[in-house]
Amino acid sequence: MTTTSDPNLQSASTLPDVDSGGARAGWAATLLSAFAFLFSGLSFYETTLKQSDLRIYVTDTISYTRDPWGSYDVLAVPLTISNGGARDGAVITLAVEVKNVGTGESETFTSAYFADAQYFGAVEDVAKRIKRPKQPFAPIAVPGRGSYSGTILFYPATAREKKLIEPKSKVELTIKVLTPAPSGWLERTLGRAPERVSLKADVPNFLPGAMYAGDVVRLRVSAHSRQ
């Protein structure tokens, strides 16, 4: 006895699995939509929501001088502050913690003035009331994805009869940026304090009287780190 197969059944068995293919296409579309949504969210965060992310950069071109108008130690620090965040950032003040390695004494210097090239080419003359040009320090606004570069003059709070920084001494410097307190939960959650920059430097020999007249000496920076 022979049997014959129904040609209609054979052709039906060779048809593709429409339900299975449709399910795979649906999963693929869902995954693509999820990736697109995730990418859109990350892009929105990076371009709009990301809090200011300030970072300070200091080279080894730090200089020392003295201000005869009060007999202050003065540190001239060229620096750059970059903002890796999307939102604007602000620097209220900067501070340098200075330690004399030989004596163990330390003091905090704060940003007091801005200086430019004219400051380093001018002289001080108390008798003639001639002062080196400088501008009082003001808070610095750093736009999102932007930066600020300039030279800051750091002064101690009070003048010392015995100076903290002396010829042929060794000093340790820690530079920190002070920013406004977080104003909302988003800033408190996503924001972070800028890193500190620590340096070790040797002070060259100099004549104190020449410092009061306008001379400047460059510190020899030997080590540089972040905290």
Give the CATH number of the domain where residue 166 resides.
2.60.40
Considering the domain architecture, whether residues 24 and 87 belong to the same structural domain is answered as no
What whole-number distance in Å separates Cα of residue 55 and Cα of residue 53? 7
Domain assignment of residue 2, yes or no: no
Q: DSSP letter string over 22-43?
A: HHHHHHHHHHHHHHHHHHHHHH
What whole-number distance in Å separates Cα of residue 71 and Cα of residue 208? 11
Mean pLDDT of 42-70: 81
**If you average pLDDT over every residue of the chain, what do you get?**
86
Considering the domain architecture, whether residues 108 and 180 belong to the same structural domain is answered as yes
Domain assignment of residue 179, yes or no: yes
pLDDT reading at 67 higher than 90: yes
| pLDDT bracket for residue 193 (50, 70, 90) | confident
Considering the domain architecture, whether residues 11 and 67 belong to the same structural domain is answered as no
User: Coil, helix or strand for 198?
Assistant: strand
Mean pLDDT of 17-46: 59
CA torsion 162→163→164→170, rounded to 10°? Answer: -110
Other Cβ atoms within 10 Å of 163 Cβ, number: 17
- Cα 213 to Cα 50, 78, 123, 216: the distances in Å are 48, 21, 6, 9
Considering the domain architecture, whether residues 98 and 164 belong to the same structural domain is answered as yes
Q: Looking at residue 11, what is its pLDDT?
A: 52
- pTM of structure: 0.79
Domain assignment of residue 1, yes or no: no
Domain assignment of residue 129, yes or no: yes
Burial class (CB in 10 A: 0-12, 13-18, 19+), 25: exposed
Q: Looking at residue 216, what is its pLDDT?
A: 97
Considering the domain architecture, whether residues 164 and 202 belong to the same structural domain is answered as yes
Considering the domain architecture, whether residues 31 and 105 belong to the same structural domain is answered as no
pLDDT reading at 168 higher than 70: yes
User: Coil, helix or strand for 223?
Assistant: strand
The residue range of the domain holding 171 is: 54-226
Q: How many domains does the chain have?
A: 2
What whole-number distance in Å separates Cα of residue 118 and Cα of residue 112? 17
Considering the domain architecture, whether residues 81 and 170 belong to the same structural domain is answered as yes
Considering the domain architecture, whether residues 132 and 193 belong to the same structural domain is answered as yes
| pLDDT bracket for residue 62 (50, 70, 90) | very high
Asked if residue 201 lies in contact with residue 217, where contact means CB atoms within 8 angstroms, the answer is no
HEC secondary structure over 105-173: CEEEEEEEEEECHHHHHCCCECCCCECCCCEECCCEEECCCCEEEEEEEEEECCCCCCCCCCCCCEEEE
